[in-house]
A and B are shown apart, each in its own frame.
Chain A
C-alpha cells in the first residue's frame, strides 16, 4: 500500500474528516479538528520528515530567487539597447537558476512530509507577516522618495507593465521576507539545543 492509500484508508482519519464536514460545528471546533487531521496525517505519512523551519528556509530561497528574476526582467525592459545583451545573458542565467531552485523546492516538498505548525509557529507567522508588510511599504515609499528627489523625474508614472511587475515583486518579496522573518522569530533557543 502506498503513502496516499495509507492516508486515504485510515479509519480514524476518515472519521475526523467526516466530523469536519458536519455543519453544526463551531469555528473553533472545526479549527481543532482540522489541526487534529493534519497531525494524524503527518503521523501516518511514511515519507521522511522535514521541519517547519527547513520548509520555511526553502520557501524563502525559492521566493527570493523568483523575485530577483522578476526584478531582472523588469530592468531589462527599461535599459539602453547597448547594454541589452549583457542583461539578456543575466536574465538567462537567472532563469536557469530559478528553474533549478524551484525544481529543488518542489522535489523537497513532494518527497518529504512537512512538520505541521503549532501555536508558537502560528504566532510567529502572524508577527512575521505584519513586519514583512510594513517593511516593504516603508521600503517602497523610501525608494519612491529617493527616486523623485534625486532624479529628473519629479513624478512617478505607471503603465500596465510596471504595475504588473510591481505587484508580482511585492507578493514575491513579501513571501520571501515573511519566511525569513519567521525563521528569525523562531530562532530563540533552537540553534544551541540538542535533543535532551
Chain B
C-alpha cells in the first residue's frame, strides 16, 4: 500500500465539521474517517473524490503522496 499523508483533519477542522458529519456526507463509517486521518487506510478513488468534493478542492490537496512532494 502506498504511504501518504493527509490534510483531512486540518480541512475538517477548517469547516468545523465532526468526523461523524464527514462520514455521513461521504457515506462511510466514522471508523473509516479515523483511519484515513491517521493515514492507515488508502481510500478508493471514489471515496477520495467524494471527500475532495466535500471540501471543494482537488484530491491531491487532501491526500498527499510522496511523489507529489518531490515535484
List the count of A-B residue pairs having beta carbons below 8 Å apart: 45
How many chain A residues sit at the interface, stated as a range, is 10 to 19
Report whether A53 and B31 are in contact in the complex, using a CB–CB cutoff of 8 Å: yes
Report whether A120 and B32 are in contact in the complex, using a CB–CB cutoff of 8 Å: yes
What is the interface of chain A mostly: helix, strand, loop, or mixed?
Answer: loop
A10 within 8 A of B: no
Report whether B34 and A121 are in contact in the complex, using a CB–CB cutoff of 8 Å: no
Q: B32-62 interface mask toward A, CB cutoff 8 Å, 1 = contact, 0 = none?
A: 1011001011011001000000000000000
Shortest Cβ gap from A40 to chain B (Å): 10
Please, how many angstroms separate the alpha-carbon atoms of A102 and B30 in the complex? 28
- Which residues of A have CB within 8 Å of B47? 119
Across the A-B interface, the 3 shortest Cβ-Cβ residue pairs: A118-B28, A120-B32, A189-B34
- List 13 contacting pairs A-B, 8 Å CB cutoff, sorted by A: A52-B29, A53-B31, A118-B27, A119-B43, A120-B29, A121-B32, A188-B40, A189-B31, A189-B38, A190-B31, A190-B34, A195-B18, A196-B18
Binding site for B on A (CB under 8 A): 35, 39, 51-53, 115, 117-121, 186, 188-190, 193, 195-196
